[in-house]
Structures are given as C-alpha cells and as structure tokens.
Amino acid sequence: MSSEERKTAVGVCGVGAIGSAHASALYGGKIAGAYLSALCDTDPERRKKCAEQFPEVPIFSSHEELLASGLCTVLMVATPHYAHVPIAMDAMNCGVHVLSEKPVAVEVSVARRAVALAKERGVYYGVMFNQRTSAVYRNAKELISSGALGELRRAVFIATAWYRTQYYYDNGGWRATWNGEGGGVLLNQAPHNLDMLQWLMGMPVSVYSDCGISLWHDIEVEDDAVITGRYANGAAMVFVTTTGDMPGTARLEITGSKGKLLVENGRLKIFINTVDERDVRNSAKVSFYRADGSWQDITPEKDGRDGHEIVLENFVAVVDGREERLVCPAEEALNSLELSNAAYLSSHKGASVSLPCDSAEFDAMIDGYRKHGRTVGAGHVEYHDEYSARWRP
C-alpha cells in the first residue's frame, strides 16, 4: 500500500486566496495523515493555475463533478460565503466530511440545516477558526475555565486591525456586496474575533449594534461596527471592529470578580486581586478600595505552526479516529454567526435584539438588502503558496 493510500484524501473546493494556501499545505506534505486528492474551481483561470502548481492533482470545474469522482474523504470548502452550505450539504449527502471556511454561512437558519444534515449523515463538519489554536487565546481560555478570574463581568474587544484599501474591495468581485458576501467586516474579517469572544465569555442574552455602512470605503455593506451586549449574569461586552482604522488595534480585556486579563500584540497579561471583589464589597469597612495585586506577564511560547495547518490536521485526525475533538465543530461556529446576525438586525431596527435572534426576521432583512444590492461581478483572485501573515491572530 502506498503512503498516499494510507493517508486521508482531502479535496479543496474554491482555490482562491485561502484555498490555494490550504492546497499548498496539503500538497507540500505539511498536513500529517492527509494528501491533496482533488481540486475544484469554477474559474477557468484558476484551474489553469492549479494545473501548473499541482500538476498531477485532478481538477474539476464543479463541486458536483468532484464529488462524483469519489476522490475525497474530506472536502475543504473555501469558496465565497453563499456557496459554503450548498457545497457542504452536497458533500455530506455523498458521505464526505466537510471542513468549511468561516463564516459557516450568511444566515444562521441556513447553517442550522447543514449542521442537522451532518448529524443525520454521520459525517464530521468543522469550521476553520484558526485563531482558536493561538497560544495566547488557549491560555486565556484555560485561565477563565479554571476560575482564575472569578465571575466574569466585562469584555472589551477592540478588533480593528483589519485595515483594507479601496483596491481590495474594487478587485474582490463578490466582496463587500450583499449578493456576493452577505455582509462586510462583521461577516468576513470579524468572525474570528466574534468566535473568540463567545469562546471565552459565552453568549450574551441581548445585543445592541450600530453598523456603519460604507463609512470609510465605497462599498455597499458595513466597514465599521460597534456592538454592546449583556450576559445572563449581568456582565457586559463592547465589541468594536472596522476595516478603516490605520493603525488598527487588536486588544481584548476581560474582567472578572477576581481580576482581569489582557490580550494585546500577541501577549497575555493577568491581574489577580488578592481579595475577590464580592468579598471586598461585602466586608470592607471603607468607602473606597483600590485593587490589590499586580500585573503578571504570562505570555506563552510563540505559536510554532500556522493555525490553519493545525485545524486542518486536527480535522483529518478526528475523521481518522486519532483525535477526539474538533478544534471548532460547526455547531460552535453557529455562535459567532448568531452574534453577527443579531448585530445586523439590531442596527437595522435601531433597537436591542434578544438572542437567539428571530432568524425569520433576519432572513427577511437580508433578502431585502440583496434585492436592492449590487450585482456581483468577476473579481481578481490572489493565489497564495503559503498562509499569509494577515490571516493570523
């Protein structure tokens, strides 16, 4: 038996900016236990490029043909957003496991259908939330889960390090259109941060949002958003994102009754109160009290590998039964989508929205945007031989 036969066959559907990086990682043997078995892209130029770069790998012009070939055990879906779920569901119906690029879908209602089908068909369904593999965030998660911060009170996430030029949008074809992308910064760049927020804090019970449409670029979707939210225990969050700030900021501060953590510039710091705030409140016989403790830098070792490679390798290992848990099962990816759906709806209504939001109301809203939205044209696609630094946390 050849080594390829012992490895899991992984196909890539949509070989653009990120799909080409996934294909290169597989083709270059960087993903243990997997090999690149097939490719698919609807664009003839892309297929020509793939034939040069991955000479002996079969390439198809539609995902239906790729699935009919029976060449894939796993399919990595890296197309524009609206195609994620239809392709994923067709693959599931062929018994193929699916690792989808983020966002899992545009509408939560659509994503839920795919999650249900994966269960029914008994296939794995994961989502490429590569920032979950980052050491600072994993450490932050462990600290919170261990109770080191006590009861969570507040999260302030400034996720504005997503600067994009007008050139980026003008060349994107499907990008920044209601009909091609289904949203702007909240659906393309910020899902990583929204996923991190819900991963560390859990889900709020309500959100209020103000999405700035076409504020800093000539586009029809939002390039700026401010979301506030409340959790069941009264904790609060503020989430700020844009593709317009230069320089931007990537700063997450989470405060609990026992202290605070801060993730910024790839560093993790923590401040632990010597006394829990609840005990101070209940027993201190003074009116004012200054937190007693000190900041500790507990930045872990730098990430050794690219997070996308880790997520892909983990997915294959779970399919093969060598690992138990996916980095991000699709059910968990519903949460970040739930947050962005609720944020769009809140901004549209100018009112606070309870979670889970009314998905029929969201679907009607986005249908209306699409009806009056621009027609999607062809775009210029970038081709990457490896993962770009801009896709890392």
Ligand X SMILES: NC(=O)c1ccc[n+]([C@@H]2O[C@H](COP(=O)([O-])OP(=O)(O)OC[C@H]3O[C@@H](n4cnc5c(N)ncnc54)[C@H](O)[C@@H]3O)[C@@H](O)[C@H]2O)c1
Interaction of residue 391 with ligand X, rule CB under 6 A: yes
Interaction of residue 236 with ligand X, rule CB under 6 A: no
Interaction of residue 74 with ligand X, rule CB under 6 A: no
Q: What angle do CA 73, 88, 124 make, to 5 degrees?
A: 55
Interaction of residue 91 with ligand X, rule CB under 6 A: no
- Looking at 16, 182, 256, 259, which residue binds ligand X (CB under 6 A)? 16
Interaction of residue 277 with ligand X, rule CB under 6 A: no
Q: Tell me which residues in 123-152 interact with ligand X (CB under 6 A).
A: 128, 130
Helix, strand, coil share of the chain (percent; to 5): 35, 20, 40
Cα separation of 72 and 316, whole Å? 12
Scanning 15-23, 253-261, 295-303, 348-356 for contacts with ligand X by CB under 6 A, the matching segment is 15-23
Interaction of residue 268 with ligand X, rule CB under 6 A: no
| Whether the Cβ atoms of residue 10 and residue 34 lie closer than 8 Å to each other | yes
- Looking at 26, 78, 108, 327, which residue binds ligand X (CB under 6 A)? 78
Q: Using the minimum distance from each CB to ligand X, give the nearer residue, 46 or 164.
A: 46
Scanning 76-84, 150-158, 247-255, 350-358 for contacts with ligand X by CB under 6 A, the matching segment is 76-84
Cα separation of 89 and 118, whole Å? 8
Burial class (CB in 10 A: 0-12, 13-18, 19+), 351: exposed
Q: Using the minimum distance from each CB to ligand X, give the nearer residue, 13 or 115.
A: 13
Hunting for tokens 């979670």 — which residue is that?
Answer: 355
- Looking at 40, 91, 185, 197, which residue binds ligand X (CB under 6 A)? 40
| Whether the Cβ atoms of residue 193 and residue 239 lie closer than 8 Å to each other | yes
Q: Using the minimum distance from each CB to ligand X, give the nearer residue, 18 or 263.
A: 18
- Looking at 8, 188, 228, 346, which residue binds ligand X (CB under 6 A)? 188
The DSSP line for 53-122 is: HSTTS-EESSHHHHHHHT--SEEEE-S-HHHHHHHHHHHHHTT-EEEEPSSS-SSHHHHHHHHHHHHHHT
Interaction of residue 243 with ligand X, rule CB under 6 A: no
How many Cβ atoms sit within 10 Å of the Cβ of residue 82? Answer: 18
Interaction of residue 63 with ligand X, rule CB under 6 A: yes
Going by C-alpha positions, the residue among 103, 134, 94, 22 that lies closest to residue 330 is: 103
Q: Tell me which residues in 342-381 interact with ligand X (CB under 6 A).
A: 379, 381
Least distance to ligand X from the beta carbon of 131, Å?
Answer: 8
The DSSP letter of residue 329 is: B
Contact residues for 25 (Cβ-Cβ < 8 A; gap 6+): 31, 306, 308, 309, 312, 386, 387
- Looking at 11, 19, 183, 393, which residue binds ligand X (CB under 6 A)? 19
Scanning 38-46, 136-144, 273-281, 297-305 for contacts with ligand X by CB under 6 A, the matching segment is 38-46
The DSSP letter of residue 249 is: -
Query: What are the residues binding ligand X (CB under 6 A)?
Result: 13-19, 40-43, 46, 63, 78-81, 83, 101-102, 128, 130, 188, 379, 381-382, 391
